[in-house]
Amino acid sequence: MHPKRVRGTGRARTVRRTIARGGAGVAEPLNDAVGGWPGVRITPMFGRWGYFVGNRLFACFPLRPKEHDLWILLTLEDQARALKTPGITPHRRFARRGWVECQVDSREALPRALAWLRRSYEFIRTQPERD
């Protein structure tokens, strides 16, 4: 007698479909825009879209459409400027390293997010590859 196969419960199927489509909600146009920049690789990691140049992570955004906190790595000078912008707060764990959280809950918030992402992208391109 074979044991009955039990399918998992939870969001795995929804997340797989989201990944296959390249994002859902605000993540889709965000991934389309950032994915067009030279050298950018977007890959799912730990429940978030990871935005990389080479092996250097410069931002991440949630896979789930109900979450809207875009994490962006900035220089400390850019971080200080960004924190004066409404909707941008210090990252809850990595603020000392230059990370900020940007709320991107609508398409109207995309231009602001893309401007800071572009600064992060330009910064990370100047950094050496990590081993």
- The answer as to whether 130 is a domain residue is no
pLDDT at 24: 60
Rounded Cα–Cα distance for residues 25 and 82 (Å):
24
Rounded Cα–Cα distance for residues 84 and 67 (Å):
22
Q: Residue 83 carries which side chain, given as an amino acid letter?
A: L
Domain count for the chain = 1
Q: Which domain holds residue 62?
A: 12-125
What's the pTM? Answer: 0.81
pLDDT at 22: 53
- The answer as to whether 6 is a domain residue is no
Identify the CATH number of the domain in which residue 104 sits.
Answer: 3.90.1150.30
User: What are the pLDDT digits (tens) for 90-118?
Assistant: 999 999 999 999 999 999 999 999 999 99
State in Å, rounded, how far the first CA of the chain is from the last one.
50
